[in-house]
């Protein structure tokens, strides 16, 4: 038998994560910088670094949405239930990943 779900702790963890993500997303993307380097190669790696930053921000936006949805589920009283199958999500899973929307079985079954 697993421990009862601590909604207060989950909310605290989710709010901290939302704050962290908002702070990171609020930071401006690093400017391309002065064109002091001459070679094509360094220009290309600069573009690559920018694309990587943008990909990271996309990931953070998705993550922030997950966190906000989880907070919404706390308010709606459905937190801790799998959004796919409706069964309770294991407490250990929610403690590790408070924004988890699905149980481990559905997460494994979901296409990546």
CB of 86 to Zn ion, least distance (A): 7
Residues in CB range of 37: below 8 A, 6 or more apart: 43, 46
- Min CB(110)–Zn ion separation in Å: 9
Is residue 97 a contact residue for Zn ion (CB under 5 A)? no
Token representation of residue 111: 């296409």
Using CA atoms, how far residue 101 sits from 11, 33, 81, in Å, is: 14, 40, 7
Q: Rounded distance, CA 22 to CA 27, Å? A: 9
Q: Taking CB under 5 A as the rule, which mask of x and - marks residues 53-82 in contact with Zn ion?
A: -----------------------------x
* Minimum distance, C-beta of residue 83 to Zn ion, in the bound complex (Å): 8
Residue 103 in the binding site for Zn ion (CB under 5 A) = yes
């Amino acid at each position: 038998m697993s421990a009862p779900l601590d909604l207060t702790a989950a909310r605290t963890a989710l709010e901290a994560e939302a704050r962290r993500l908002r702070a990171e997303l609020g930071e401006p993307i690093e400017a391309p910088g002065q064109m002091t380097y001459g070679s094509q190669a360094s220009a290309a790696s600069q573009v690559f670094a920018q694309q990587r930053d943008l990909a990271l921000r996309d990931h953070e936006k998705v993550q922030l949405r997950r966190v906000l949805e989880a907070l919404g589920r706390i308010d709606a009283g459905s937190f801790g239930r799998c959004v796919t199958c409706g069964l309770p999500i294991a407490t250990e899973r929610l403690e590790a990943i408070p924004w988890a929307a699905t149980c481990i079985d559905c997460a494994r079954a979901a296409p990546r």
